Amino acid sequence: FNLNEKKSLLNKTVLITAGPTYEAIDPVRFIGNHSSGKMGFSLAEEAAKRGAKVILISGPSSLNSKHENIELHRVTSAKQMLDKVFEFYDTIDVGIASAAVADYAPKVVASEKIKKSEDTFTVELIKNPDILKTMGEKKTHQFLVGFALETQNEEENAKGKLEKKNLDMIVLNSLRDEGAGFKQDTNKIKIFTKEEKIEYDLKSKENVAQDILDCIEAQILK
């Protein structure tokens, strides 16, 4: 037991979404993305170290967490992630959406493996629920944090999302910087709250998680 470890989030419940979602096309195929879940699992680990009770809801990821404060729920699709989030939503103090949720899912899921036939094949897609936006709409006391990954007008778009999704904080991932983002162990972020903008250097995702939680603490414990 390390006496120097600060338990600054004791008695707080933090819900984190992580990883990609997989949207089934048929029993053996899906639409997904390359998110590793690293950012979300790093956030979970850091929040747990600080004494929080952590509910980690992850899409398919090879990562694991062993901290006793982390309750890990594995889901596959966006719909399952949404349902899982709302099993806990009333009980949480902080919600952090770091999952790379698929924007669209196949409109119909074939019950049998689709056979190859024609030269072209079309899958009709339908918009997935926006989990974080739904959390924002149902917000009563929860402090909500989102992520944004933009390729143009990044600051404007990030701030737009803060408003539109009714968030308290948004973390902008830079795509322009070498070593930041998907499948990387490092990240370079800017954080926006309603009043502030803070820029950080390129860091390991573990250190980025510390910065994000420091920033959340500064807001919720003030």
Binding site for CTP: residue ranges? 103, 113, 129-132, 147, 161, 165
Q: Classify each residue of 98-109 as buried b or exposed e, where b means 16 or more C-beta atoms within 10 Å of its C-beta.
A: bbbbbeebbeee
Helix (H) / strand (E) containing 155: helix 154-164
Give Rg (Cα) of the chain: 18
Residue 146 makes contact with ligand C5P by CB under 6 A = yes
Smallest distance from ligand C5P to CB 25, Å = 18
Nearest to 14 by CA among 99, 132, 94: 94
Q: Which is nearer to ligand C5P, 26 or 130 (CB)?
A: 130
Task: Please pick, among 2, 4, 11, 33, the residue that the annotation labels catalytic.
Answer: 33
Question: Residue 132's closest CA among 148, 150, 144, 143?
Answer: 144
The minimum distance between CB 142 and ligand C5P, in angstroms, equals: 14
Half-sphere exposure of 9 (CA within 13 A, CB side): 29
- Give least dist CB 148 to ligand C5P, A: 5
- What amino acid is encoded at 111 in this protein? S
Q: SS3 of 16, please?
A: strand
Residue matched to tokens 């103090």: 93
Residue 112-141 contact track with ligand C5P, rule CB under 6 A, x = bound: ----------------x-xxx---------
Query: According to CB under 6 A, which one of 92, 101, 105, 180 is a site residue for ligand C5P?
Result: 101
Please state whether beta strands 70-74 and 53-58 pair in parallel, antiparallel, or not at all (unpaired). Answer: parallel
Q: Do 56 and 41 touch, CB atoms closer than 8 A?
A: yes
Site for ligand C5P in 15-44 (CB under 6 A): 17
Residues annotated within the binding site are 103, 113, 129-132, 147, 161, 165
The CB density around residue 222, as the number of other CB atoms within 10 Å, is: 5
Residue from 39, 43, 55, 99 touching ligand C5P (CB under 6 A): that is 99
Query: Is 157 among the residues known to form the active site?
Result: no
Q: Closest distance between ligand C5P and the C-beta of residue 158, in Å?
A: 9
Q: Identify residues 56-85 at the interface with ligand C5P (CB under 6 A).
A: 78
Contact region with ligand C5P (CB under 6 A), list: 2-10, 54-62, 97-105, 196-204: 97-105
Q: For binding to ligand C5P (CB under 6 A), which residues are involved?
A: 17, 78, 97-99, 101, 128, 130-132, 146-148, 161
For the annotated catalytic residues, the residue numbers are 33
